[in-house]
Structure 1
Amino acid sequence: MFGLDAFHLARIQFAFTVSFHIIFPAITIGLASFLAVLEGLWLKSRNETYRDLYHFWSKVFAVNFGMGVVSGLVMAYQFGTNWSGFSQFAGSITGPLLTYEVLTAFFLEAGFLGVMLFGWNRVGPGLHFFATCMVALGTIISTFWILASNSWMHTPQGYIIENGIVVPQDWLKIVFNPSFPYRLLHMSTAAFLASAFFVGASAAWHLLKGNDNPAIRKMFSMALWMALIVSPIQAMIGDAHGLNTLEHQPAKIAAIEGHWENPPGEATPLILFGIPDMEQERTKYALEIPYLGSLILTHSLDKQVPALKSFPKEDRPNSTVVFWSFRVMVALGLLMITLGVVSLWLRFKGRLYQSRPFLWFALLMGPSGLLAILAGWFTTEIGRQPWVVYGVQRTIDAVSAHGDLHMSISLLAFILVYSSVFGVGYVYMMRLIKQGPKVGEGHDVNPGGPGQSNTPARPLSAVSHQEGER
């Protein structure tokens, strides 16, 4: 297929499924916490606006949660089908970590999800709020275990190798490996920001359409406060994460910077733009700022950043890709900070809900959080290459022995099925969002039960038939 062999097709297939899947958990993590906050505010203030928003966003959450579960199951199977070498070599560590995620996070979410979605008029308000908090906690615990497994692949420790297989020795070191705290904070914060911009864009769309009510204004305001406060914090977490990566994966940093060699005695410049050429071993058309690379990455004006030519060719990540994916992520982050600052200025001017240029800005920034997450994951995972377990197992040794035709057919099948099934789910979710929250929506919640149209059966049952038909 397109002249690619089975190894590269397997990598593309996993990248495709991960890219599709990661969007749904990111929104799920943020919306679950958002729902917990909304219900807590309603219980404290009895302001009906919070209840209206809760019931509106719980429908979007239900659809998103269902798609996230389905898309995630496929990835787990791929470890055995396409990456059997990795499963055999490191399954003694990644297997238990993913099992812990199921036993803690998934069981917690599954246990309380039904109460959260269908129990509003069937259990007391305190118990329902507890269920919502448990679902939100479950999404965080899931993030914990998934990132513990992924981080170990980047900064492995706490193991020995016996007979060509990884054997765990210290689970505390395995879980709390050097990059794990930074990745956990960075990804969790990214999920909250992605959800905030998703919510803010939804409100901006309704305000532009003239659908102006207290619920719309409230969710727009809450989203912008999140952007204002959390975006700069995310930038600081990213800086700390970069310093950790420089310590443990210097080749990745060199590839991100498009930095090839260090002239003696010269500080490292920051290359703003350019085209890294892996064959010619240089970055073409480089636009540089002297000293800034050393200042950002070493917090000094004289220390040098490791250069790509310091590493063997077979150990270098693809700088052409990660150079630009990193810059896309950073550019989107700067736009997020800008949106938050402008929102504060408009808030004080009393024009937050009336400025149409700003509303368009907020609307266009709707997918920015998700795009930044994808760009960040491309940077992280492609920057780890050619290793699947950094410094321990190469990716080429982890792939299963499939033929080119087999991988081509399965990749095409994935593209067709994912695009159709999840495309329909995405369109359906957008239709729900376009309806917008209604005043008094919480009063219309059907308690369910025998003979009722929304008797609990599946996550999508949280959306009424009438809403699905509109």
Structure 2
Amino acid sequence: MFEGWDAVVLARAQFAFTMSFHIVFPAFSIGLASYLAVLEALWLWTGREVFINLFNYWLKIFAVAFGMGVVSGIVMSYQFGTNWSVFSDKTGPVIGPLMAYEVLTAFFLEAGFLGVMLFGLERVGHRLHFVATLMVAVGTLISAFWILSANSWMQTPAGYAVNADGQFVAADWLKVIFNPSFPYRLVHMVLAAYLTTALVVGAVGAFHLLRDRHLAGPRVMFSMAMWMATLVAPIQIVAGDQHGLNTLEHQPVKIMAMEGHFESHKHGAPLVLFGLPDQAAGKVKYAVEVPKLGSLILKHSLDAPLAGLDTVPRQDWPPVPITFWSFRIMVGMGFLMMGLGLLSLWARFRGTLYHSRLLHMFALAMAPSGFIAVLAGWVTTETGRQPFTVYGLLRTVDAASPLAAPAVASSLIAFIIVYFAVFSAGVIYLLRLMAAPPHHGERGPGGEAPARAAGITPAAGATARGNA
């Protein structure tokens, strides 16, 4: 199955495989935790039962997705020691503390309040329960902060020194944490998580509206999701553009691969829309180009010169075809999201938001688009950094453990079998939860609105626990 692959390629394939499974769950749970906090806040504010029904509906889904994210993430940590021991040794004094901060702040915060969030609605009071929900949402964002800081340092290392043992050590922790690419990548990833969640929520709402357009719960979730797509998708495109400009400044070779610029352009570079990058030949075959638009986007000038991969030694080239196409998939998904948001805005203006079957079918088809965009963005980021694990400082081939290829291949096969079995079952269960419609009444857990009851008389706990 993996004949001809060496240990380094197999180790990279194993990390890519496990990371591909893992990243979709945090992307979903980050957005969903914030959505749950908004739903509970709206319930406490308005007393409308539809909001607590939606909260309980998505709470079960969040619990499963959160658990799957934790399990898949733990496995990845062990690979630093098994497959990437040299990387761990060289970067441990920098990466180790950043990962520890994530555990000490975000994970402990999430774990401490998750039980209250899941089971404490009628045990701790409605307002204190909302605080717990808010803390879980904040915890997911803090987790994203530290993980992206660590990964961004590998992309744009700063604030480091190299000791006598050849290890990277922190000379300035603020520069390590807030390295040049980190703010852009944090904003880009958090917005991506919110869009991913909004598209799933919108798709579930559309699915139920296609079956019965009068259900209160699907109407509310669909409307909220479409507002998110309408407002956030354009902001994400602008944030992505700023992130690209930052990448051009600090990782120009990645931009060359993303844009398919094998050759330098002294008087304005084209924007290559599509084509077949040929890394061996050093050109994009059958390219569909817009003259000088590449320079306008990246340099804000039609005639601005742009360097190409012909200025970089071939041994430092990333895998251009993968980076080129993953970037286009990500951008394509982004424009489809914006299109969905604009179409929903038009339908809202015409009063057909809950009646347009075309819009609902479009929203349903867009359910996986956020996950596809997140995966494509991650592939673009990581393959564009190659052949380095720490950009410009530590090569991937020098970061791997001294393992034989059969040993890595056997563990990779085991991961493939176990992951597809376990996570397929988990995803099927999530889809079954989403296929069931939320409770569509306006009756609260105890039959009274929280605006009157919160903090005074708790509602009947049995009903709330049943809904949760």
Q: Which of 182, 201, 204 lines up with 1:202 in the alignment?
A: 204
2:439 aligned partner = 438
Q: Does 1:227 align with 2:211?
A: no
1:140 aligned partner = 141
Partner amino acid for 2:341? G
Q: Does 1:425 align with 2:453?
A: no
Distance in 1 separating the partners of 2:249 and 2:230: 30
Partner amino acid for 2:445? H
Partner amino acid for 1:351? T
1:386 aligned partner = 387
Q: Does 1:181 align with 2:172?
A: no
**Structure 1 residues 119 and 307, CA gap change in structure 2 (3 angstroms):** same
Partner amino acid for 1:328? I
Normalising by structure 1, we get a TM-score of 0.94
CA contact (8 A) 1:200 1:219 kept: yes
1:403-443: CA deviations, max 9, x gaps?
11111111110011011011101101111111121124852
1:46 aligned partner = 47
- Aligned to 2:403, the other structure's residue is in SS state coil
**Structure 1 residues 397 and 336, CA gap change in structure 2 (3 angstroms):** same
- Aligned to 1:369, the other structure's residue is in SS state helix
1:13 aligned partner = 14
Partner amino acid for 2:384? G
Q: Does 1:377 align with 2:371?
A: no
CA contact (8 A) 1:49 1:215 kept: yes
Distance in 1 separating the partners of 2:354 and 2:424: 31
- Aligned to 2:288, the other structure's residue is in SS state strand
Distance in 2 separating the partners of 1:93 and 1:270: 38
- Aligned to 2:123, the other structure's residue is in SS state coil
CA contact (8 A) 2:202 2:225 kept: yes
1:37-80: CA deviations, max 9, x gaps?
00001111111111110010000000001101100000111111
2:333 aligned partner = 332
More displaced, 296-305 or 7-16?
296-305
CA contact (8 A) 1:251 1:316 kept: yes
1:99 aligned partner = 100
Residue 306 (structure 1) shift: 2.0
1:410 aligned partner = 411
Q: Does 1:281 align with 2:294?
A: no
- Aligned to 2:343, the other structure's residue is in SS state helix
Distance in 2 separating the partners of 1:382 and 1:373: 14
Residue 191 (structure 1) shift: 0.2
Partner amino acid for 2:208? H
2:269 aligned partner = 268
- Aligned to 1:288, the other structure's residue is in SS state strand
**Structure 1 residues 323 and 52, CA gap change in structure 2 (3 angstroms):** same
Q: Does 1:303 align with 2:268?
A: no
- Aligned to 1:280, the other structure's residue is in SS state coil
Partner amino acid for 2:394? Q
2:353 aligned partner = 352
2:67 aligned partner = 66
After the TM superposition, which residues 318-329 of structure 1 pair with which residues of structure 2 at under 5 Å, given as runs? 318-329=319-330
CA contact (8 A) 1:203 1:217 kept: yes
Q: Which of 239, 245, 248 lines up with 1:246 in the alignment?
A: 248
CA contact (8 A) 1:55 1:442 kept: no
Distance in 1 separating the partners of 2:243 and 2:99: 24
1:335-371: CA deviations, max 9, x gaps?
0000000101111111111111111100000110110
CA contact (8 A) 2:445 2:464 kept: no
Distance in 1 separating the partners of 2:265 and 2:249: 21
Distance in 2 separating the partners of 1:439 and 1:447: 20
CA contact (8 A) 1:59 1:463 kept: no
Distance in 2 separating the partners of 1:81 and 1:244: 33
1:213 aligned partner = 215
Partner amino acid for 2:251? Q
Distance in 2 separating the partners of 1:179 and 1:118: 39
**Structure 1 residues 64 and 425, CA gap change in structure 2 (3 angstroms):** same
Partner amino acid for 1:7? V
Distance in 1 separating the partners of 2:461 and 2:408: 48
- Aligned to 1:443, the other structure's residue is in SS state coil
Identity %: 57
Distance in 1 separating the partners of 2:330 and 2:182: 20
Residue 236 (structure 1) shift: 0.4
- Aligned to 1:275, the other structure's residue is in SS state strand
Distance in 2 separating the partners of 1:453 and 1:25: 27
CA contact (8 A) 1:119 1:447 kept: no
- Aligned to 2:438, the other structure's residue is in SS state coil
More displaced, 206-215 or 328-337?
206-215
- Aligned to 2:179, the other structure's residue is in SS state coil
Residue 211 (structure 1) shift: 6.0
Normalising by structure 2, we get a TM-score of 0.94
Distance in 1 separating the partners of 2:402 and 2:242: 39
Distance in 2 separating the partners of 1:439 and 1:210: 11
1:37 aligned partner = 38
CA contact (8 A) 2:445 2:461 kept: no
**Structure 1 residues 37 and 174, CA gap change in structure 2 (3 angstroms):** same
Partner amino acid for 1:314? Q
Please list every run of 5 or more consecutive structure 2 residues that lacks an aligned counterpart in the other structure. Answer: 447-458
- Aligned to 2:401, the other structure's residue is in SS state coil
Computed over aligned residues only, the root mean square deviation of the Cα atoms, in angstroms, reads 1.6
CA contact (8 A) 1:33 1:136 kept: yes
CA contact (8 A) 1:24 1:67 kept: yes
**Structure 1 residues 349 and 263, CA gap change in structure 2 (3 angstroms):** closer
Residue 446 (structure 1) shift: 8.3
Residue 223 (structure 1) shift: 0.1
